[in-house]
Chains A and B, each alone.
Chain A
Amino acid sequence: MKKKICMLGAFAVGKTSLVQQYVNSIFSDKYHTTVGVKIEKTTVVMDDTNVDLIIWDLHGEDEFQHVRLSYLKGSSGCIYVADGTREKTLATALSLRKIAQNTIGKLPFILMINKSDIKDQWEIDDETIDDLKNQGISLIITSAKTGDEVEQAFKILTQKMMEK
């Protein structure tokens, strides 16, 4: 079983470093700045089934560079990534989610808030997090540095995609 998933987030939220210890890639980071996407792959074992996740790691959204929406088509799930220390990135992640939904419809997704290792510098407060959780959003607090919860996040997303 193979699934295409897209990974989106604001510029420099650590998307690539978040996943790089769990994924295979033959492409260098320069694809990000040229083609705007970099393809990675990881395999999640779900109930004795191997699910290959083909991750389209899209170039970070910022005021100069916009996500190419054509890359979203055919995705089975999405990962939105925000940086806990920059509140604005959460807003970006949520607006990207809205854009993606408008483009390809509602899809299973997870929201990763990165940089749990420097929690003291966070701008996003627990209240906001609880709010999002209460909206039914699968929100996972991760650390690219320690790798906390990253694998778990892939599993949760896979599960959601398979259940659909």
Chain B
Amino acid sequence: MTSKAPDIQMLENLKDLLLKTEQNQIQSIEKRLDDPMVRAIEISDALPDAISLSIRQGDKLPRVIQPVIDDSIKVSVQNNPKAIADAIFPALGPAIRKAITSTIMGMIQSLNQVLNHSFSFNGLKWRFEALKTGKSFAEVVLLNTLVFQVEQIVLIHKKTGLVLEHVVTKDAIIQDPDLVSGMLSAIQDFVNDSFTTSTDEDLETLRIGSDRTVWIEKGEHAILATVLRGTPPLELRVQYQELIEHIHLKSGAALEQFDGDSSPFAIFRESLKDGLKSKVKIEQKKISPLLWVFLLFILFTSSYFGFTLYQKHKIWKGYLSRISSEKGLIVLSAKKENKTYHISGLLDPLANNPETLLTDVEKSNLNLKFALTPYHSLDPKFIIQRAKNRLKPPSTITLSFTAGTIHAIGKANQKWIKKFKDQSIMLPGIDSYNIKKIQNPNQTHLESILKDLRNIRIYFKNNRSSLVPDQEDVLLDVLEKIKKIQILQSDTSSPVQIVIFGHTDSSGSERLNLKLSRDRAENIFNYLLVNGINPTFITISGIGTQLPLTKEETLDDKKFNRAISFKTFYYHTTTGGSQ
């Protein structure tokens, strides 16, 4: 056993000699393997290169580490949400802004449309449609009102600005798409350089005039530029965003490696063509019920107005012909201006005012304006009326007018007759007057009293100047009559003269008889005078036996001549004569 020990020792020495370096290396490796700190340091050196290699080899690594990353994010969010929030804020901000902007734009668009159509006929129709289909009213309005046309769609390579594919509607007038897309790219670059700070904030919409819009949808390598006319629905934009995403998904590599050959992108031609959408508002050929109502309304109102006009004209003509035949009114002109009828002419103040001649119908239909100048009509009716107004004849008088002469017929007192004579000829149209047929009732009365008076005899005693006893009453009667005469003559203004004749019988001397007869007359005169009779219109005359009252054929006859008698002188001016 002991002999073996040196061998082992030698072997060990040999191993040491031969494998010392390796052993050390192995030890070192073991140590590295055992010490996790050392391993971590080493892996940290290799990890970036390893990941890089792994990515080149395929997507195994992302798949493998995805659950880990998911978990890490969860843990991180649980532990410190702020850190994550801070980290994603720069990315999230613009994204949220973009989403909100596009939502608000859509809302405004739909609100605008809804407001425009809420109260129209179509609005009611669409409300019904919304009820029927279960869609929201706003949606129905948008569907029915947005009119637009997508004129062209250009797929542009982002980096070079070259056209990859291009579709256009038949009618659109277009410029060379290569030039347009080049310039569009240049303008985008210009906008990015000039106005925006981050790559998220790109030119998205170009608005040309009020009608044309260019929508720019960006992918990583390509841009979809859509030229539209009208008001497209915003959800269309989502379709184009999906289209550009689809193009990238299918040909992302080809887009990245694009070197000027656009033929690989011809496969998208059909997809782009599908994007050429349009909605044209179909003009309704049939007339809308509203228009019918409108037309009927127009017809009704115009015929109503026509009829009213005709009616008015008829009423006007009727009124005009009526007032034209009206006495004392001379219509010089009658015309219609605007809505007013103007009548000008001459009007006798005594004539009917044409306004008072209006019937109720005429009043409500005609708006009249008069310009009438007063004048004196020479129509007999007005001459007589004027005379009546001026002369105020008593009711017993009738006036008439023929050929320049005014006639008064009937009873009137002297005062009025004088007025008639003085004033009638001063009235227009009257040249002369006729009073022959006027009777003055006072005059008639006067005449009858005078006649009575003339028949009265008052008898005296023989050879005396005192009355026969029964003659007192006669004297009283005479007094009464003369009193009346005195009153009446003042009214008639016809001068009356009464002469009291004294008579005697034929007995005795003529000289004595004359004296006696005068005494007798004087006695009566004095009696009258004492009883208040004005002496101026009474005279006395003693005529003795001249003009005896009766022939003295018998003795008894003598007593009839012992008397007084009355003579009256009266100038009957009315009839022009006198008695």
The residues of A with any CB-CB pair to B shorter than 8 Å are: 1-4, 24-27, 31, 35-41, 51-52, 54, 56, 68, 70-71, 73-76
Contacts and interface: CB of A to CB of B under 8 A. Distances in A.
Nearest to B180: A26
A31 B179 CA distance: 13
Interface string B149-188: 0000000011111110000000000011011101100110
Given A74-B159, A74-B161, A35 B187 contact: yes
A40 B189 contact: no
Contacts of A76: 160, 259-260
Contacts of A31: 183
Nearest to A36: B190
A38 B182 CA distance: 9
Nearest to B192: A70
B137 to A, nearest CB: 45
B179 A40 contact: yes
15 contacts: A1-B261, A2-B162, A2-B261, A26-B180, A35-B190, A52-B178, A54-B160, A54-B178, A54-B182, A56-B161, A68-B193, A70-B193, A73-B189, A74-B161, A75-B160
B262 interface: yes
Interface in B7-38: none
B162 A54 contact: yes
A26 B259 CA distance: 25
Contacts, number: 78
Given A1-B261, A35-B186, A74 B160 contact: yes
B154 to A, nearest CB: 13
A156 to B, nearest CB: 17
A30 B75 CA distance: 59
Contacts of A25: 179
Contacts of A1: 260-261
Interface of B: 157-163, 175-176, 178-180, 182-183, 186-187, 189-190, 192-193, 259-262
Contact of B182 (A39, A51, A70): A39
Given A36-B190, A74-B159, A26 B179 contact: yes
A24 B179 contact: yes
Given A41-B178, A68-B190, A4 B183 contact: no
Contacts of A24: 176, 179
A5 to B, nearest CB: 10
Given A4-B260, A74-B162, 16 more contacts: A2-B160, A2-B178, A3-B260, A4-B182, A24-B179, A36-B190, A40-B179, A41-B176, A54-B182, A68-B189, A70-B192, A74-B157, A74-B158, A75-B160, A76-B160, A76-B259
A24 B180 CA distance: 12
B179 A27 contact: yes
Closest 5 CB pairs of A and B: A74-B160, A74-B159, A39-B182, A4-B160, A70-B189
Contacts of A37: 183, 186, 190
B190 A4 contact: no
Contact of A39 (B158, B186, B262): B186
Interface of chain B: mostly helix, strand, loop or mixed: mixed
A73 B179 contact: no
A3 B260 CA distance: 5
A75 B259 CA distance: 10
Nearest to A23: B179
A24 B178 CA distance: 11
Given A54-B161, A76-B260, A26 B176 contact: yes
A52 to B, nearest CB: 6
A127 to B, nearest CB: 37
A93 B14 CA distance: 77
A70 to B, nearest CB: 4
Nearest to B175: A26
Nearest to B263: A1
Contacts of A68: 189-190, 193
Contacts of A51: 260
Contacts of B179: 24-27, 39-41, 54
A8 to B, nearest CB: 14
B225 to A, nearest CB: 14
Nearest to A164: B259
A32 to B, nearest CB: 11
Contacts of B157: 74
A64 B121 CA distance: 62
A52 B259 CA distance: 12
Contacts of B183: 27, 31, 35, 37-39
B411 to A, nearest CB: 118
Given A2-B163, A54-B162, A71 B178 contact: no
A99 to B, nearest CB: 16
A56 B186 contact: yes
A72 B196 CA distance: 19
B485 to A, nearest CB: 133
A56 B160 CA distance: 10
B159 A73 contact: yes
A39 B176 CA distance: 11
A150 B510 CA distance: 183
Q: Which of B157, B163, B179 counts the most A-chain CB atoms under 10 A from its CB?
A: B179
A86 to B, nearest CB: 27
A2 B262 contact: yes
Nearest to A40: B179
B260 A2 contact: yes
A35 B191 CA distance: 9
Contacts of A74: 157-162
B233 to A, nearest CB: 31
Nearest to B188: A70
A54 to B, nearest CB: 5
Contacts of B262: 2
B161 A4 contact: yes
A31 B183 CA distance: 9
A39 B157 CA distance: 15
A35 B158 CA distance: 18
Nearest to A1: B260
Given A27-B179, A54-B178, A71 B162 contact: no
Contacts of B160: 2, 4, 54, 73-76
Q: Which of A4, A54, A68 counts the most B-chain CB atoms under 10 A from its CB?
A: A54
Nearest to A3: B260
A14 B179 CA distance: 21
Contacts of A36: 186, 190
Contacts of B158: 74
B486 to A, nearest CB: 131
A1 B160 CA distance: 13
A1 B262 CA distance: 7
Given A26-B176, A41-B178, A4 B162 contact: yes
A65 to B, nearest CB: 13
A148 B186 CA distance: 30
